[in-house]
Amino acid sequence: MAMTLRLDDAEAELLRRAAEREGVSMQTFARRAVVEAATQRTRRRDELIAQIGADRRDLLDRLGQ
């Protein structure tokens, strides 16, 4: 899917510098950043759900009865 990403000058410069440091195009860097951000959020959500489940095991067991 094609899309247009609108960045202000400061954001575009950050993207340009980051891509240059990594030796990739700005498009490649942006695509990788999207994947990384989405993966980290999913992982963090799963960790929090597991933590809540462990912390509230007794309550969850009572609710399941």
The model's pLDDT over 12-49, given as tens digits with 9 standing for 90+, comes to: 999 999 999 999 999 999 999 999 998 887 888 888 88
> Quick one: tokens of 36?
């990384």
Cβ proximity of 15 and 29 under 8 Å: yes
Residue 64 has pLDDT above 90, yes or no: no
The pLDDT, as a whole number, for residue 9 is 98
pLDDT exceeds cutoff 80 at 60: no
CA angle 28, 42, 56 (to 5 degrees): 165
pLDDT value of residue 44: 82
The H or E element that residue 27 is part of is helix 26-55
* Residue 2: Cβ within 10 Å count: 3
